[in-house]
Amino acid sequence: MHTLLHFLALPFALVAFLLPDKGVAASSPYVQTTDGLDLNRVRFAISAPPEFTSQLAQRATVLFAKAGLPPLQSDTSHMPSIATLTLTLAPQPLKNGCPGHLLYAPSLALTEPVLIPRNSVIMDNVTWLAHTGAQVRTSVTIADLEHDLEEFINQFITDYRAANAGSHSSIPGTSPATPHPGAPITAPKPLHSDSILNALPIDQLQISVSAGRFSHALTTRALQQFNDAGLALSPGQHHNGQLTLGVELIQQPLEDRCPGKVLYESGLYLVEQIQVTRNPRVSIWSDTWLYETTLVVAPRSQEQLESDQDALLRQFIDSLKTH
C-alpha cells in the first residue's frame, strides 16, 4: 500500500509527543488529523476473514473502552457518520503467482471528506493511516490478526488522545467535539473522481519516478511522454511543497519464499495539499488521484517497466485532456 499522507520522508516514523503532566507518548506524524474528531460519529468497518470478523470487532471495541473512549458505530449502523475507520486484515491467496503463500497488507485508515483548495472539489480521502506494507507469507493466524489490530488501534488511540487533550474531544471528562469554524455541519457528498483534475496547474506539476536503478531513464521517458502530449513537466525527487505526480515501480525479491518471483508494486499518484473539511485548520499532503496494483510476478525488465509506466501515464494524460 502506498502511503497516502505525506508529513515526513518516512511513511510511518514515530515522533515524540509531549502530553501535559503525562510524560512522553509515541505519536505518529498523523496525530494532527484526529484533532476535533467526534468518535460518536465515526463508522468502524472491518475487512477480514469472515470467521474472525466478529472476534476482531469485539477486540477493537474492548480497546476503545479500555482507553475510556466511546465505541465506534458498527458497519451496519444506519446512523449518519462523518468518517469511516477501516481495519483491513485480509490475507489473499496468491495461487498461480506463488502457490501456498498469501499476500497480506494489513492497515487501519480513517477516511473522510477533504477539500482540494485549487479547485474547491470535495472528495473522500484517507486522513490517518497505519500499515505495514504488503507482505508475502506462508500463513496468517488469528494471533497475527489480533496483534496487528492491537498495534494499529493503539496507535490511533494514542494519536487521538494526544490531539484531543483539550476541549475539542470525545474523551470522557472533556467537552464534546464541535465542528471547527468553517467546517460543514454534515459531510458533503464526494464528487466524481474525474473532477479532481479540474484546474490542475500543469506548469506547477513536477514528476518523480521511483523504480530503483531504472528511475533516471524512466523519468526522462516520462517527461518525453508529456512533452509529446503537449504538456511540459519538471523532474523532481521530493515534494518540497509542490504539486507532484509520482510514479512507483517497485520490485522486492522473494527468493526465500517464491523463487524467481518479485513482489511488484506499481502505481501513479497525484500528490497535493488538501484540507480536512471538518477541521480546515489541518492541511496535509495526500494522494488525490491514484492508480495502483500489487502483484507477484517474474522480475520486470526495463522494457516492461517502460511499458507499465507508459500505460499509467497515458491513463492520466487522457483523463487530464478531458478537463
Q: Is residue 159 domain-shared with residue 19, that is, in the same domain?
A: yes
Q: Kindly indicate the confidence band of residue 17, based on its pLDDT and cuts at 50, 70 and 90.
A: very low
For residue 30, give the nearest of 159, 125, 168 by alpha carbon: 159
Biggest alpha carbon–alpha carbon distance for the chain: 61
Q: How far is CA 54 from the centre of its chain?
A: 25
**pLDDT value at residue 116:** 95
- Segments in 194-323 forming alpha helices (H): 215-228, 302-321
Q: Are 104 and 98 in contact (CB under 8 A)?
A: no
Q: Kindly indicate the confidence band of residue 236, based on its pLDDT and cuts at 50, 70 and 90.
A: low
Give the residue carrying C-alpha cell 495461487.
95
Do the domain assignments include residue 176?
A: no
Domain extent, residue 311, equals 193-321
Provide the pairing of β-strand 234-235 with 206-210: parallel
Domain end point (choices 143, 163, 183)? 163
State pLDDT tens for residues 261-318. Answer: 999 999 999 999 999 999 999 999 999 999 999 999 999 999 999 999 999 999 999 9
Q: Are 39 and 62 in contact (CB under 8 A)?
A: no
For residue 205, give the nearest of 241, 238, 233 by alpha carbon: 233
Q: Is residue 117 domain-shared with residue 225, that is, in the same domain?
A: no
Q: Kindly indicate the confidence band of residue 242, based on its pLDDT and cuts at 50, 70 and 90.
A: confident
Do the domain assignments include residue 5?
A: no
Q: What's the chain's Rg over C-alpha atoms?
A: 21
Q: Kindly indicate the confidence band of residue 240, based on its pLDDT and cuts at 50, 70 and 90.
A: low
**pLDDT value at residue 165:** 86
DSSP string spanning 164-215? TSSSSS-STTSPPP-PPTT--SSPPPPPPGGGGGTT--GGG-EEEEE-GGGH
Q: Kindly indicate the confidence band of residue 96, based on its pLDDT and cuts at 50, 70 and 90.
A: confident
pLDDT over threshold 90, residue 6:
no
pLDDT over threshold 80, residue 21:
no
**pLDDT value at residue 81:** 87
What's the number of domains the chain is made of?
2
Q: Is residue 120 domain-shared with residue 211, that is, in the same domain?
A: no
